[in-house]
Structure 1
Amino acid sequence: MTVRPVIEPQRRAERTAPRETRLRALDGLRLVAALMVAAYHYGGRGGEVTAAWGSSPTVQFPTLHEFFAYGCLGVQVFFVISGFVICMSGWGRPLKSFFASRASRLLPAYWVAVLLVTAVFALPMVAYKAVSPSDALVNLTMLQQPLGVDRVLGVCWTLWAEVRFYALFALCVVLPGATRRRVIMFCAGWTLAAVIAEAANEPLLDLVLMPEYAPFFIGGVGLYLIHRNRRDNYGWGIVGVSWLIGQHYAVQNLWRAPSPDAFANRTSFGIMLVVTLGFLAVAAIALGWLNWANWRWLTVAGALTYPFYLVHEHLGWVVIKTLHQDLYLSSWATFTLTIGSMLLLAWLLNRYVEKPLTPRLRTALAKMR
């Protein structure tokens, strides 16, 4: 008689968990977050965009610039989505496969975006300063932020945060093997360590543990636990604590006392509302409430999000200046056409860069020993 080994209920559930289907609503939410950031860059702040418009966006969008100013919180929404997606993609995957998947997803479009923006800014008719050739080459490593090198892409600071999250998750969860218990301990340990880092005021701990962004990544991981089992009380606890801490950091970093001289006056309530809506949107997807949003065009929207996010800011300034100052188009026509042109460029990058290069790079990395 053959004695069969006893499998614990938790491990049996993990081994027999159904294969993940495409969450197309998550793809749509990605694009919404990217458009929020674009609205912020084009009409929700001053700086370089003022030169692009020829005057402050407060003049171009006298009412909506106050709302566009909240678009920067699209980054926090991205981080929640990233926590969810990275936990989903890393579950049951060996470290080499996880690394190959992440590197091949990020690098091809990023490399081309860096070279493209550098080349455009070097053109004599473009009135923006390009980084030095040496700094542009360092930017190809995606490590320019910690090295103190001038950035080609303004949004690359978020990629540096993503890379650190990937490294923490890979070392603590993917390398030993993802299980529910291990993911829970990772979330609890990172939350506690990030709080200690904040209290210690130690730059090295801040660099590694990212106290101000950790709650959003951790919240996304907790939402993936809920996606696997909506009755997971630990998952709900992780999400609740992450939301409480995350909204605190968002308010602390983005709220300023009202001033007539301020570009925009974000309210603490408005900041908390956007953060809450971001968590709720991912939660609705995790719980399956948005499974009805299964349109194929949402997958296309998700595919365009990353290349759009990379190129929209700096190249958008060039398009805005050309359309508004040189061709004298209205503010709204310029805003709309700039968004449209950046989406078109994103489609070209996806079609001719990501689609051919991503699988090849992934295969090459997966074969490395």
Structure 2
Amino acid sequence: MTETVVSTTQPQPVPAAPVQVAPVKRSGGRLRALDGLRLIAALMVALYHYGGRGGEVTKAWGSPADQQFPTLHTPFAYGCLGVQVFFVISGFVICMSGWGRPLRSFFASRVSRLMPAYWAAVLLVAGVFALPWVAYRTVSPSDALVNLTLLQQPLGVDRVLGVDWTLWAEIRFYALFALVVVLPGATRRRVVMFCACWTLAAAIAQGAKMPLLDIVLMPEYAPFFIGGMGLYLIHRDRRDATAWGIVAVSFLIGQHYAVRDLWNVSDPHAFAHRTSYGIILVVAFGFLAVAAIALGWLDRANWRWLTVAGALTYPFYLVHEHLGWVVIRVLHRDLGLPSSATFVLTIASMLTLAWLLTRFVEDRLTPRLRTALNRS
């Protein structure tokens, strides 16, 4: 969900033999529609956190969000599926960015892309939540320091950012892809074998019910990453029947996990009841949207502002949840603004904060960190 450097290269056949393959020639362009889709996915998650769930957000509004948005709270509840859309995009982009790249360069690009904004977000949220007038539980100083490693979830440490569980899934995907594909050198055959073996292994892990296999193979998230990789193979060659098969199987398995984990119609205490058909449709949207980009159907969406939107997506995703609740409380409860105005202004303020993080943190630290890691 984090890398935005993408290519508009026409599909080219790739040798199937396991030999070193030159990277696809790139024109220096961007798939700007992919940047726009990333922002849409982030906004979906924001809708969920501000108006599609119960719990902590009730403190921000002063009453349950379904009372603030009696009509929209149910559609907002589907926004959590923006994470699955992110994972499909990530599979596409990581497969592309790792193609023809040595392991050290791949590692440097991932760390330098993830960590500067993440460090800033952890420090910012921890600092704001430590203020005495902010009525949200903060983590201990020790736990906050562990959060800077991005390993807080496997270590069982309280998390500063509610969304960072998705980054833990991303890291495990990067590690698997680096070891199996990047290290020996990316080829079409190697990516196909990785997708096929991961799909089968994840199914076995689900049946085996062994925690270690679940942690490594991520059965519930693997189909979305794998589907994204299959879509990148289609981007290279739309006639690749094997890649189409990978995408189809990934969608079928992915919608199963999404329905299993998010269909809550049987829970009378659920904040909003999602239907299985609605969940399937949102998952299908994620796959179809990336497929349309992979096939070049959205190449005309080449507006420069989409590049800016793509750059803002990651820092916005990191800070929007907890800091957004603080802004909602100030605007709605302290200043008395109506719910609709509060909602819009909160999203606008989080996008502004994301721009500041991009301008003063990512733009300055990311290239320096990448250069340092490439030299080490």
Same fold (TM over 0.5): yes
Amino acid paired to 1:157: W
Q: What secondary structure sits across from 2:154 in the alignment?
A: helix
Query: In 2, Cα distance between the equivalents of 1:261 and 1:306?
Result: 32
Percent identity between the aligned chains? Answer: 78
Gaps of 5+ in 1: 1-7
In structure 1, the residue matched to 2:26 is 19
In structure 1, the residue matched to 2:10 is none
Contact 2:16 2:189 in 1 (8 A): no
Amino acid paired to 1:330: P
Query: In 2, Cα distance between the equivalents of 1:162 and 1:172?
Result: 15
Write the deviation string for residues 124-182 of structure 1: whole angstroms up to 9, x where unpaired: 11111211000000000000000000000000000000000000000000000000000
Question: Runs of 4 or more off by more than 2 Å in structure 1?
Answer: 8-18, 257-262
Instruction: Give how far 1:257 is off.
Output: 2.7
Write the deviation string for residues 242-298 of structure 1: whole angstroms up to 9, x where unpaired: 000000000000002356543111000000000001100000000000000000000
Write the deviation string for residues 21-55 of structure 1: whole angstroms up to 9, x where unpaired: 31100000000000000000000000000011000
In structure 1, the residue matched to 2:3 is none
Q: Who wins on radius of gyration, i.e. which is larger?
A: 1
In structure 2, the residue matched to 1:204 is 212
Question: How many residue pairs align between the two structures?
Answer: 361
In structure 2, the residue matched to 1:70 is 78
Write the deviation string for residues 324-360 of structure 1: whole angstroms up to 9, x where unpaired: 0000100000000000000000000000000010000
In structure 2, the residue matched to 1:270 is 278
Question: Which range is displaced more, 122-131 or 257-266?
Answer: 257-266
CA RMSD across the alignment: 1.4
Give the TM-score normalised by structure 1. 0.96
In structure 2, the residue matched to 1:236 is 244
Amino acid paired to 1:135: D
Structure 2 CA distance for partners of 1:117 and 1:24, relative to 1, 3 Å: same
In structure 1, the residue matched to 2:57 is 49
Residue 258 (structure 2) pairs with residue 250 (structure 1): yes
Residue 44 (structure 2) pairs with residue 36 (structure 1): yes
Amino acid paired to 2:69: F
In structure 1, the residue matched to 2:330 is 322
In structure 2, the residue matched to 1:123 is 131
In structure 1, the residue matched to 2:143 is 135
In structure 1, the residue matched to 2:230 is 222
In structure 2, the residue matched to 1:97 is 105
Query: In 2, Cα distance between the equivalents of 1:318 and 1:31?
Result: 22
Gaps of 5+ in 2: 1-13
Structure 2 CA distance for partners of 1:94 and 1:341, relative to 1, 3 Å: same
Write the deviation string for residues 280-326 of structure 1: whole angstroms up to 9, x where unpaired: 00000000000000000000000000000000000001000000000
Give the TM-score normalised by structure 2. 0.94
Structure 2 CA distance for partners of 1:359 and 1:210, relative to 1, 3 Å: same
Q: What secondary structure sits across from 1:15 in the alignment?
A: coil
Query: In 2, Cα distance between the equivalents of 1:150 and 1:334?
Result: 29
